[in-house]
Structure 1
Amino acid sequence: MYEEVIARLDGTPDTAPVSWIAEFFGVTHSTVIHAIHAERLPAEPITNSEGKVLGYNIRPRDALLLWGHRLHKKGA
């Protein structure tokens, strides 16, 4: 089972934006943001020149630890 879920990450980018993570794991954008703010999901902020956070880069492998079970339910 675990090997099948991990295999779903083959060919995925090293880091991805919130929208990609949400779509890939079948969760909402808000769920991903909440996990980042709750410090359950490590993420690198993307900031503008004034330091305002515009988005986040997330490693799909980190998101797998939270939502990998959803991939198995999708028939990984």
Structure 2
Amino acid sequence: MSFTDRLREHVTDNGTGMLHDLLFAVVWVALVSFLFDFVFASAPTWVFYMFLAAGIPAYFGFFFSLELAKQEHGE
């Protein structure tokens, strides 16, 4: 199987999840960038990077709670 075939198969199998991951990442970075451009403009750079890194647990927490909500409602 060629690289292109494997890539096509992977995207077909995981397309929706990959789209959700990308959307979450774009929204998170946009939100953090907005906050540090307008709200926390005088904050040090390391705080900006810590907020960006906080997106990792936020991602897993958001999708874990989403799964719990789906199971609770029987979907």
Q: TM-score, normalised by structure 2?
A: 0.27
Higher strand share: 1
Larger Rg: 2
Structure number with higher relative contact order (C-alpha < 8 Å, ≥ 6 residues apart): 1
